Structure 1
Amino acid sequence: MSLPVYTKSQLALRNGQDKPQIWVAYQGVIYDVTESRLWRNGKHYEHWAGQDLTEELQDAPHTEGVFARFEAVGRLDAPSDSSQGGY
């Protein structure tokens, strides 16, 4: 199944404030965390919904396996001029 692609602006609207959905992105995949009590009001500890959490979660006390319990609802649109992380 192919997931729809969303821009960072579209993801930002799913922050628990602007729209009822609460979404976060991790490694290019967008997850719906709306039903999680840990994401109530769009905030989980120091993390905010509606954004890409890939870099922030490097220091998290859990692994990326935490996303297995959430539904993947889309893919994050990568900027066309990105060079796959090269600096």
Structure 2
Amino acid sequence: MKEYTKSQLALRNGQDREEIWCAYQGLIYDVTSSRLWRNGHHYEHWAGQDLTKELGDAPHTERVFERFKVIGKLTEPF
């Protein structure tokens, strides 16, 4: 599985490139297809970041990531 740094992940924020990615527990997910992540943000959360610590504030569980394709691993997780 390909590995990405936090800097590489940050470029997939929906602003700098078309891809919209976010990380959770060391895995990077492609959320580009989600209408909820348009323009790189979803409520108060921003794409291109590790959302592991923020999930506790979400109204859903980590199972939401099952809908998205894993792109790679975050080399500097958490």
**1:21, distance to aligned residue in structure 2 (A):** 0.2
Q: CA–CA distance in 2 between the matches of 1:4 and 1:42? A: 22
Say yes or no: does 1:47 pair with 2:45.
Answer: yes
Unmatched segments (≥5 aa) in structure 1: 80-84
CA distance in 2, matches of 1:22, 1:77: 18
Spell out structure 1 runs of 4+ moving beyond 3 A: none
Which residue number corresponds to residue 7 of structure 1?
Answer: 5
Letter in 2 for 1:70: F
The answer as to 2:26 corresponding to 1:28 is yes
2:64 aligns with 66
Larger Rg: 1
Identical pairs, percent? 73
Give the aligned length.
Answer: 78
Q: What is the distance in 1 between the residues matched to 2:30 and 2:71?
A: 6
CA apart distance, 1:78: 2.0
2:36 aligns to what SS in structure 1? Answer: helix
CA RMSD of aligned residues (A): 1.3
If the length of structure 1 is used for normalisation, what is the TM-score? 0.86
TM-score by length of 2: 0.96
Secondary structure at the aligned position of 2:28 is classed as strand
